[in-house]
Amino acid sequence: MGRGRKDGSSAALAGAASAAVAEVEASLAMPPDPEAAAFFDVDNTMMQGASIYHFARGLAARDFFTWRDLSQFAWKQVAFRVKGVEDPAHMQEAKEAALAFVAGHEVDEVVRLGEEIYDDLMAGRIWSGTRALAQQHLDAGQRVWLVTAAPTELASLIAHRLGLTGALGTVSESKDGVYTGRLVGEPLHGPAKAEAIRALADREGLDLTRCAAYSDSANDLPMLSLVGRPVAVNPDHELKRVAREKGWEIRDFRTGRKAARIGLPTAAGMGALAGGVAVGIALRRRSLESPSIADRTVHAARTLRGVTRR
């Protein structure tokens, strides 16, 4: 299982941290099939759209930050999706701004808000088809984990609400119940997800060749390639191409136009912002923007909100 692993890397640290803090309330009793498990990505796989974006909308509605902040975030993410590339500078900027914004907030406060926002904005966006797939694994006596770049607190909440075993998410450092504004490793994105699954498998005695993984994004190829049964769910163009080449299962629960080209942001942009424990999702700016930029950001926010309703 360790082939290609970089133990000293930030991804390995993030994966180990995520596995270490993962709660296992639902699996305290050993399941009938203890060596097999299923791992589900969240955004656009288990849930329509990006969980952290829905969380941000809820925070803005509760005056945690402004709608203008949210529109700035939306514009950045639309630009990211249109370009179709991961911009390291953008990711770093977003992560730093997010971490600075969350520093000093209490963990309990974020968890409490997460519970309210999940019930208000997320519960109705769970893909019934993907939820049914997860239930099949549970019925077979296997454990089911969410694996996401979203904050581990939010990821664990979603898993609990769905009756799943637990969740692996981005870990933000806290001291005496207050966020410090630093990550443990990096956002749980791409290779870090695979590292987290490896660490969890070591801890829980899982046989990865008997495990399954589900995702919509080619960014999760490291995770999908790690298990014996990779499944593309609502796949993006690149993942669909790879899945067909490799003969992987493909499940698509979308209807109508099947995922607008500019869907809710996932992947790198989400991973960077997850480091701020969702609260820092706004890319805060102190200077006034020109009217043209402001108009574009507001339009972007409306575009994203429109996609979430589909």
User: Tens place of pLDDT for every residue, the chain, 310 residues?
Assistant: 444 444 447 777 766 766 666 654 444 455 789 999 999 999 999 999 888 878 878 877 887 766 666 666 555 555 444 444 445 555 555 555 555 556 677 888 888 888 999 999 999 999 999 999 999 999 999 999 999 988 888 899 999 999 999 999 988 888 898 988 788 777 888 999 999 999 999 999 999 999 999 999 999 999 999 999 999 999 999 999 999 999 999 999 997 544 443 334 444 444 444 444 433 433 333 333 333 333 443 344 444 444 344 4
Among 7, 33, 41, 216, the active-site one is 41
Q: How many Å apart are CA 109 and CA 93, to the nearest integer?
A: 25
Q: How many Å apart are CA 164 and CA 234, to the nearest integer?
A: 21
Among 33, 43, 108, 119, the active-site one is 43
216 is catalytic: no
Which domains are seen in the chain, by residue range? 10-22+30-308 (3.40.50.1000)
**Residue 282 carries which side chain, given as an amino acid letter?**
A
Q: How many Å apart are CA 39 and CA 138, to the nearest integer?
A: 12
**Which residue in this structure is represented by tokens 């088809």?**
129
Retrieve residue 52's tokens: 């952290």
41 is catalytic: yes
Q: Which residues contact 234 (CB under 8 A, 6 or more apart)?
A: 44, 45, 127, 216, 251, 252, 253, 254, 259
Q: How many Å apart are CA 152 and CA 168, to the nearest integer?
A: 6
Q: What is the pTM of this model?
A: 0.72
Angle at 131 between CA 228 and CA 211, to 5 degrees: 15
